[in-house]
């Protein structure tokens, strides 16, 4: 019996994901981000995890200079974490395309009052990446 895919072809790839640590609640964080002149912030529908067990608040961020878009997802959802390997990351910043997140968005987030740290996360393993693969 032949496999339809080689092991290399079945590997899911995803751009760098950033973790954000902050004491701000998600509504206050979105409000703070919306005050920045270079960003547009839109509330997105809650995002379920891959197995539809947990819902996670989310916002669509658009960098107005080049219309780059990414998703800001609350890591702790209604039942569990979106990226459980990083329970200390309050939010996850994810690209909505195969492209990396515009570095200017990361710089804006890093400088905002109320955000402790914005850092690149390790690439998720194949099981963990299922939550992220549905975002594209």
Cα 106 from Cα 124, distance rounded (Å): 19
Q: Is 4 inside any structural domain?
A: no
Residue 114 domain-assigned? yes
Tokens 């994901």 belong to 17
Domain count, the chain: 1
**Residue 14: what pLDDT?**
67
Would 104 be classed as within a structural domain?
Answer: yes
Regions of the chain short of the pLDDT cut 50: 1-10
In this structure, is residue 40 part of a structural domain? yes
7, part of any domain: no
- 49: how many CB neighbours lie within 10 A of its CB? 20
Q: Quote the pTM value.
A: 0.86
Domain-located, residue 75: yes
Asked whether residue 9 is assigned to any structural domain, the reply reads no
Residues 48-72 have pLDDT tens digits of: 999 999 999 999 999 999 999 999 9
Residue 8 within a domain: no
CB of 39 closer than 8 Å to CB of 127: no
Full domain range(s) for residue 25 = 19-133
pLDDT of residue 1: 42
């Amino acid at each position: 019996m032949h496999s339809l895919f080689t092991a290399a072809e079945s590997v899911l790839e995803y751009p760098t994901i950033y973790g954000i640590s902050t004491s701000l609640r998600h509504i206050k964080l979105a409000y703070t981000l919306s005050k920045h002149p270079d960003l547009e912030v839109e509330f997105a529908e809650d995002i379920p995890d891959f197995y539809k067990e947990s819902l996670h608040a989310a916002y669509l961020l658009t960098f107005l200079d080049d219309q780059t878009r990414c998703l800001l997802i609350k890591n702790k959802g209604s039942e569990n974490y979106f990226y459980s390997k990083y329970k200390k990351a309050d939010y996850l910043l994810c690209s909505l395309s195969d492209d990396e997140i515009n570095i200017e968005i990361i710089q804006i987030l890093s400088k905002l009052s109320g955000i402790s740290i914005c850092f690149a996360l390790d690439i998720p393993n194949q099981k963990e990446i299922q939550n992220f693969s549905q975002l594209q």
